[in-house]
Amino acid sequence: MTSEKNTTTVQYTEKDIKTLSTRDQMRLRPGMWIGKLGDGTQPDDGIYTLIKEVVDNSVDEFTMGFGNLIEITIEDKWVTIKDHGRGIPLEILDACVGVINTSGKYEGAGYKKTVGLNGVGLKAVNMLSAHFEARSVRDGKARTVVFKQGLAAGDRWEEGVSEKNGTTVRYLVDEEVFGIYDYNEEYVEQRVKNYTYLNTGLAFRLNGKRYESKHGLLDLLGENLGEEPLYQPIHLKGKDIEIAFTHGTGYGETYFSFVNSQHTTQGGTHQAAFKEAVAKTIKEFFKKDYDPADVRGSIIAAISVSVEEPEFESQTKIKLSSKNMGPGQLSVRQFIGDFVKQELDDYLHMHSETAQAMNKKIADNEKERKAISTVQKKAREIAKKVSLNNRKLRDCKIHYSDVKNPRKEESMIFITEGLSASGSITASRDVQTQAVFSLRGKPLNCYGENKTFVYKNEEFNLLQAALNIEESIDDLRYNKIIIATDADVDGMHIRLLMMTFFLQFFPEVIRQNHLFVLQTPLFRVRNKKETIYCYNEEEKQRAMAKLAKPEITRFKGLGEISSDEFKEFIGPNMRLEPVKISQEEPIHAMLEFYMGKNTPERQGFIVDNLRIEADYVDELN
């Protein structure tokens, strides 16, 4: 007896095979070239990567000795970047901005220590823009080429121009590719500052404001300390390397690492080599077998190296993968190790006060670590016994620590309070990339506590275990940590308490842009034809004016929002507010003001701001 299996035949012919042009591929899959798209609310969104791709070429000109001023203007979403270098050769200008893999840096010896070696970046800006134009001026002659969505749309030559040599790029990012977006000037400003720290003598003018640095990484460290250092930062420079570091009073390790002026936010071989070299050199200097974690505890450091023909893990160039300083040269590990061993050892011998302060800090770190070891062991046992998946954590399948997973940066965890809110988010989430951690009531105020507090408090102990940040945030399991609480007084209080937890014990989570607050709508305005969700009073007023005879619902808490509705608020259109550490005041002073016992000062601050908010609402009404 035989049986036949019923099958549905799917046609697969030559018509199903397509060959895309580079332009079409870039516009269809931009993430392959610039990382992610985004809407401008995050510092690593694609619109900022495009600015970087243009500026890198101008910085390379400065590195070659031409042009010490770069001008950036952002107005009505139009970006203009002008340098005063040699100008792109006029005959090849169209190819340099419009033909992939066209570059003057493949064989030029002077360009071996630049970032832009592949001839891709400027073309990506062109092809992802609704309008793009590049103008080059060289010795009294000029050429301007124009493109629309990556397609040539104009070409103009000029003779006898009086302008100085240089290149100007002007473009408008295409909303057909990116969707609605807007620029946050603070993010652009930070990138500009980084360029100046790494290129002393190079000035920037961003929307009319001038930026430059006289002391390189020392200036970077000074602006990003966030607290008073225990000793004046150590600043060491050599051929192809510059480092600066000090110790603070907080927890964790903070690093700012760069390769050929590229900010490697995910570190790489150079950062790993620096961490190893610092710990080894300091141990040998003091002739004590310190644990490396105690040596580096509370360190705040910056390192910049110049590498020939650097290799990165992706086109976004945020993690160095090069093993050597260049073809046939020393390994990155040996080069940095030799420099740190020689220069740092000499420095400590010549600066005894710094050495004493450093030694005391390391000894204090060691003492605290040993004091909490018993508590830590017990806490780990509790964390293992508790079934996180059933009790506190509803995990996702893709994690930030999944290094090779292309979706790892999409991973996130919502920290929420209460069964109803937790239930709504859990039912609405994407189980591939979105996890949920449920708090039980209000967490404790941990300001002023030491690390023992985390292990003794079951709630915080389980949270750090879920995030996998107990030892280091290098193994952080989620790219985004999102505080999701009600928009009432209790919800705001929980937000503050959670921010305090991270500021007190894991500030690098905030410094590396991993902490956010979920914005959910306060109002639902709808009629029979349309529903509009409003996040503030102003949006509600506009919605009421737009819809005839609207029904208005005021959401009192996350639990009141149905799971079907919640999908809208934690999906592609999710609104997140990044938590950032103020550059102007130290963490300790900030926590003392908001979470300490200075009640009268804080009450005055609250009353003044309530008056401002009340005046604003009166104006709207």
Q: pLDDT, tens digit, for every residue of 163-217? A: 999 999 999 999 998 888 999 998 999 899 999 999 999 999 999 999 999 999 9
- pLDDT of residue 615 exceeding 70: no
**What pLDDT score was predicted for residue 380?**
64
Structure tokens given for 495: 């937000």
CA 363 to chain centre: 33
Q: Are 247 and 221 in contact (CB under 8 A)?
A: no
**How crowded is the C-beta side of 278, counted as CA atoms within 13 Å?**
28
User: Mean pLDDT, the chain, as a whole number?
Assistant: 84
Check if CATH label 3.30.230.10 holds for domain 217-370: yes
Which residue type, as a one-letter code, is found at position 134?
A: A
Residues in contact with 108: Cβ distance below 8 Å, sequence separation at least 6, in sequence order: none
pLDDT band (50, 70, 90) for residue 3: very low
Fold of 374-520+555-584: Rossmann fold (3.40.50)
The domain made up of 22-211 has a fold known as Heat Shock Protein 90 (3.30.565)
Q: Which residue has the higher pLDDT, 429 or 588?
A: 429
Which residues, 6+ apart, have CB-to-CB distance to 136 below 8 Å?
Answer: 87, 88, 89, 90, 93, 142, 143, 166, 167, 168
Per-domain boundaries in the chain = 22-211, 217-370, 374-520+555-584, 589-621
Confidence class for position 378, pLDDT limits 50, 70, 90 = low
> Widest CA span of the chain, in angstroms?
94
pLDDT at residue 614, as a whole number: 43
State the average pLDDT over residues 233-245: 95
Predicted confidence band at 598 (pLDDT cuts at 50, 70, 90)? Answer: low
Q: Is the pTM of this model over 0.95?
A: no
Q: Return d(Cα 116, Cα 286) in angstroms, integer.
A: 42
| C-alpha–C-alpha distance, residues 245 and 345, integer Å | 14
Tokens describing residue 444: 């404790």
pLDDT-based confidence at 441, cuts 50/70/90?
confident
Instruction: Please report the pLDDT score of residue 69 as a whole number.
Output: 96
The model's pLDDT over 60-76, given as tens digits with 9 standing for 90+, comes to: 899 888 999 999 999 99
More confident residue, 542 or 591: 542
Specify the pLDDT at position 402. Answer: 87
Q: pLDDT grade, residue 286 (50/70/90)? A: very high
Angle at 276 (CA atoms; ends 273, 280), nearest 5 degrees:
135
The DSSP bridge pattern shows strands 203-206 and 69-75 to be parallel
- Tell me the sheet residues that pair with 268: 320
| Residue 458 vs residue 166, higher pLDDT | 166
